[in-house]
Structure 1
Amino acid sequence: MAPVSPPRHDRLDAWDDALTSLQLLQLDPHGFGGVCLRAPHGPVRERWLRALASLGLPLVKVPGSADAERLLGGIDLAHTLQTGQLRMQAGLLQQADQGLVCLPMAERLQPALLAPLVQALDSGQVPATHHHTAPCATRFGVVALDESLPDEPGVGAALQERLGLWLDLQDLSPSDIDAGLNDGMNIGSDDDLQVRLSPAALSRARAQWPQVQASDTQLHALCASAQALGIGSLRAPSLALRVACAHAALNGRSTLDDEDLGFAARCVLAPRATQWPAEPSQEQASESPPANDKPPEPPHNLEPPEPTPNEPPPPADATDHRADDPPPDTAPPEPTAEDLQDMMVAAALASLPPHMLDALAMQQGARSSHTSGRSGQTRAGQQRGRPLPPRPGRPGGHARLHVLATLRAAAPRQRLRQVAPVAAPADLRAKHTATESPRRRIAIRAEDFHIQRYQQRSSSCLILALDASGSAALQRLAEAKGAVELLLQQSYARRDSVCIVAFRGASAQLLLPATRSLVRAKRAMTGLPGGGGTPLALALKMAHEQAAQLQRQGVTPILVVLSDGRANVTLQGLGGRAQAQSDAQSWGQQWRASGHRALWIDTSMHPDAQAQHLASTMGASYLPMPQVQAQRMARAMDSLRTGPA
């Protein structure tokens, strides 16, 4: 299921924005918080990283195996154990002062490292630890390399919020970069990729930056655009203003223009969007002047005076003026805050991928439902999984001793634990030669013990409730079959499964128990008849029973309902629309009480209020899809499975 690729000129604009972001980093490495780059391993990302290295800024890479002491500073364990004297070492954050911290695989940064990193970004100093009595001053920016797949969570929200520039180069290929010139900058090869500002240009931009002024109208437009895109944090428009002013300084301007605001909208506001802008309300429309209000026309009895013989005729364009046109020598009116807001929102929406509408709609529904059940929920374990930072504790049972952390905890206390050696008998002393030195043992106490921990991810199961009733059932079932095949092809490596419940006539049928077999799924959905009534309550009841069984097995259940929501069969298999709707509402409330996530795909020709009400009762995200498409449906299911809980 490959996402729709944006047009080529949009991809080139994304690369141009990526190069401009490098110049902003050179202008101020830590003033914007940093850059969040979403791009897979490949020549495009390597070319951008080589351009980053050419800026000449101090660049410190934080390896994935780094712990809190390596990041913040602590004891030099090797030297301390060798000499018996306590020796401290500077952390990576302190070494990156006035430079950049590069985080490969930033989406896997553990909370134990994310918290002090974010704290250092906010305060400008490394927080104090049990080894340091006072914090150390440091100022740095962060380059977070997001290498997550489309079905995996990205960089942590706390770190993302503080990174001003967000770049997405996933759809960019080397052939796109080799295709053109942007702003006179040759980006055809690595040799001529020159983004580093000259010393004169850098000093000129830094001198121009404090002089850049933003009008009240532009400030209002920034905040209104952020609000229209669903951005609740004030940090985003503040960073957008700072980025726009820096962009203007790079171009030698002392005031902001549309180009500066558009760049800030694309790189700061658009990636943070959580909703599509709402349409103008009726109240706002009523405030605008009515369309039939026209300016007063001049009296019809007044005619232009005839030119005298000694007077030249008026110019041809002078007679073309309308009465409501401004004089030709007047400047065009300044854009209003609404005009600037529309421009910035349009620039932000133009940079979003085509499938963002479905994702934002689903996220909005998920936030309103307050449901849980995220796919791949993490749980702490002590046997296997992703290693977590060790914690103090006693080994025993399934808890394993973390030797290195135990030694680190015991090293600072060795001098306090030294005792006078016990005198050995004379016959034993005679066996030792004069060249032999007494052995030094490390004194370890119970309070030094640290145990190893691991993080495990549970698998998930997508319960698909298919409405096989009605005249359009065959088309829905065919597209649902294609979506299930796409999901199973992608979910094999994650060990996720699919369960299918089909309902039509007077009953609901467990068409396919939870399975990862693509062959079984194809066989089960082949030849499924369509038509008849809509026993929606029976389908929700069966889905609830399957979810309870999966949860007992340690699997996270997620429900996707593909229906128009017009239930007309009761739990007893009898007709009656009112009772059928009441039964469906009852089982929808029980699903919401279970706390699992759900998605309702409405197949009506127009968004149906009844389906929206049922989705709200279930705590499900609502997505209208009159023409069911396999790829769009599979993408929506995958976004639900991997989206934030």
Structure 2
Amino acid sequence: MNPPGLSQASQAWQDAQLALMALQVDPVRLGGIWLRASHGPVRDNWLALLKASTLKTFRVPGQVDDERLLGGMDLAATLQSGRVIHQPGLLAQAHGGVIVLPMAERLPSKVAAHIAQAQDCGQVHATHAHITSQAQFSVIALDESEEDEACAAQGLTERLGLWLDLRDVSMAQSDATLEALGQVERQEAMALLERMETSPEQVEALCQTAWALGVDSLRAPLMALRLACVCAALEGRDAVEPSDLQLAARLVLGPRATRMPAQPDEDQEPPPPEQPEEPPPEEEPQNEPPEPPPEDEQEPEPPQEALEDVLLAAAIASLPPKLLDRLLMGKASTKAAHGLGNSGQAKTSKLRGRPLTPRPGKPSAGARLHVLATLVNAAPKQRIRQNAPGSGRVVIRSDDFHVQRYAQQTPSCLIFALDASGSAAQHRLAEAKGAVELLLQQSYARRDSVCVIGFRLAGAQVLLPPTRSLVRAKRALSGLPGGGGTPLASGIQAALLQAQMLHRAGSTPMLVILSDGRANVSLAGTGGRVQAREDAQAWAQQWRLSGYPSLWIDTAPQPEPQAQTLANVMGANYFPMPYVQAQRMACVVQDLTAQTRRT
């Protein structure tokens, strides 16, 4: 299907062109394209191909309001005519076309939910009016997120059949054009697609491949089968061949993989089939030649490679990067609704922030009246309320009042609780210092702060109050000594008190604790492993009740059951890391922050 010997970047660019050709043939049932690419000439070249295609595109900004997106009432025409005049929204206008979402990684979850619902139902319900319009469209989500940032929302990307990544494609490679497909015209390909034939074995092979890669959604094999049909139609065939299925598995199933496929055990050979006992041979005349064996007993031909094995090999070639690290974190797929630039969690405000949809309410207690929403709610009722028709006055009552609402992003703070005891210092202390410094360098763009707590000897100490100053962090970490006992309960207690103080101040606390779980100093500062373990479990349970997110990094030479047990009690993500690396630890913590912002 594609020329051999292509580099990975060149293959990605050819896949991007093929995805655009396939979307022109069957845009609705393929769902759309999730394009991960930085703003630059490569993405501009692909968008130029999109503009030159037959697809009708509609650009939807991320901060679009509900009425513009879903449709609603034309206020001026309604007040003038005295009856409700409907104004279609962007989703209804895009019926039969393509919606382009710039900066999809920052798309608000509410807008993504509206688009996903319209894709599932094929229709959209307008606001302030009982009107339903058809809305069958595909979506192109332009994602500019980097490796250390959260990407587009899972509820949106799951419905997009083709996942593309052009971040490694150079400008010279993006000048190449695809000539392997597109041998027929679009109308002819659509006609072939209507009578396309597939076999149950091909459907079963795609489902087996999806199961082996850990793809749980049934949308993925359905869209993979649809893409295989489109590829066959583009080549002028009315039946799907194995090469079409391989291409579909590589483009649709491979990027969605959430686990490494199981490898067969080569040491265990299948037992040989039991041979039936043969009766003693009878005496035959010497002159007669032996009779040939019947056709049923002929030696079978060597079996060909199973179709699901071929598709699995094709899908493995496009597994997402850093899959193993995501599996260890317990988050296998790339899912996010907000980028890392949105610091902390969102909360509703009455005075400042990003505008939200107005809600019914009275303008009191600091809430401001939303004049336009109030008029929209009162306009359909004017014919009933006006005593003198044609007077030109708009009658507004208290039940028409709508108030303004805003959403604010609260700042977040990463609390590092470092085990600086004698058994732990030689394993992780230096690497933990390096990880904190790496995270501080990135906290300026995210508006995050970092707090460092060290626990050793008989208690815990706040080494670094919440700050974004890299100089203060280096100075505090450089003076952190190692050695002594492990007062784990004191460390968790200090982290919880610090988190509660941050929460009262309006921040979102997140804990990253580095310890092997071998507590040997109780909360009172005395020795005794049994009491120290009980105190640690008690404070771990207190942390779980607080509901704050947390991550436990176990950097013992061998993963410790005590650490995993305490992580489960805390409700923390457990990450064994016997050989600590500062850069890898920073990536894991960034995954935790992205997961927290999604929730």
Q: Does TM, normalized by the shorter one, top 0.5?
A: yes
Are 2:451 and 1:499 equivalent residues in the alignment? yes
Q: Distance in 2 between matches of 1:68 and 1:414?
A: 24
1:333 aligned residue:
303
Determine which structure has more spread, i.e. the larger CA radius of gyration. Answer: 1
1:391 aligned residue:
359
CA contact (8 A) 2:452 2:462 kept: yes
Shift of the 605–257 alpha-carbon distance from structure 1 to 2, 3 Å rule, reads farther
Are 2:94 and 1:96 equivalent residues in the alignment? yes
Shift of the 229–607 alpha-carbon distance from structure 1 to 2, 3 Å rule, reads farther
Which residue of 151, 168, 182 maps to 2:165?
A: 168
SS at the partner of 2:129? coil
Which residue of 227, 231, 234 maps to 2:211?
A: 227
Shift of the 532–247 alpha-carbon distance from structure 1 to 2, 3 Å rule, reads farther
Shift of the 171–447 alpha-carbon distance from structure 1 to 2, 3 Å rule, reads farther
CA contact (8 A) 1:479 1:630 kept: yes
2:583 aligned residue:
631
Are 2:270 and 1:289 equivalent residues in the alignment? yes
Shift of 1:541: 2.1
Shift of 1:640: 0.2
Shift of 1:217: 4.1
SS at the partner of 2:28? coil
Which ranges in structure 1 are unaligned for 5 or more consecutive residues?
A: 1-6, 186-194, 297-325, 367-373, 422-437
1:557 aligned residue:
509
Q: Distance in 1 between matches of 2:316 and 2:388?
A: 78
SS at the partner of 1:37? strand
Shift of 1:258: 5.2
Question: Structure 2 counterpart of 1:239, which letter?
Answer: M
CA contact (8 A) 2:517 2:566 kept: yes
Shift of the 124–605 alpha-carbon distance from structure 1 to 2, 3 Å rule, reads same
Shift of the 146–389 alpha-carbon distance from structure 1 to 2, 3 Å rule, reads farther
Question: Structure 2 counterpart of 1:608, which letter?
Answer: E
1:117 aligned residue:
115
Range with bigger deviation, 100-109 or 457-466: 100-109
2:466 aligned residue:
514
1:10 aligned residue:
8
Question: Structure 2 counterpart of 1:599, which letter?
Answer: L
Per the normalisation by structure 2, the TM-score is 0.84
Shift of the 83–220 alpha-carbon distance from structure 1 to 2, 3 Å rule, reads closer
Q: Distance in 2 between matches of 1:112 and 1:638?
A: 24
Question: Structure 2 counterpart of 1:165, which letter?
Answer: L
Shift of 1:605: 2.8
Shift of 1:222: 2.5
Q: Distance in 2 between matches of 1:392 and 1:237?
A: 44
SS at the partner of 1:11? helix
Which ranges in structure 2 are unaligned for 5 or more consecutive residues?
A: 276-298, 334-341
Within 5 Å, give how 1:608-627 maps onto structure 2: 608-627=560-579
Number of residue equivalences: 563
CA contact (8 A) 1:406 1:450 kept: yes
Shift of the 154–239 alpha-carbon distance from structure 1 to 2, 3 Å rule, reads same
Q: Distance in 2 between matches of 1:261 and 1:540?
A: 52
Q: Distance in 2 between matches of 1:95 and 1:488?
A: 46
Shift of 1:631: 1.1
Shift of the 534–212 alpha-carbon distance from structure 1 to 2, 3 Å rule, reads farther
* 1:56-99 CA distance string (max 9 Å, x none): 22212223453333223333234445666654333222222221
Question: Structure 2 counterpart of 1:50, which letter?
Answer: A
CA contact (8 A) 1:32 1:163 kept: yes
Q: Distance in 1 between matches of 2:430 and 2:354?
A: 39
2:500 aligned residue:
548
Are 2:323 and 1:356 equivalent residues in the alignment? yes
CA contact (8 A) 2:71 2:126 kept: no
Q: Distance in 2 between matches of 1:468 and 1:458?
A: 31
SS at the partner of 2:29? coil
2:393 aligned residue:
441
Are 2:74 and 1:106 equivalent residues in the alignment? no
Question: Structure 2 counterpart of 1:477, which letter?
Answer: L
Are 2:23 and 1:25 equivalent residues in the alignment? yes
* 1:248-300 CA distance string (max 9 Å, x none): 332345554554334333433344344444566x9x986x515xx6999xxxx
Per the normalisation by structure 1, the TM-score is 0.78
Q: Distance in 2 between matches of 1:535 and 1:248?
A: 65
2:291 aligned residue:
none
CA contact (8 A) 1:471 1:530 kept: no
Percent identity (aligned): 55
SS at the partner of 2:452? strand
Q: Distance in 1 between matches of 2:462 and 2:127?
A: 57
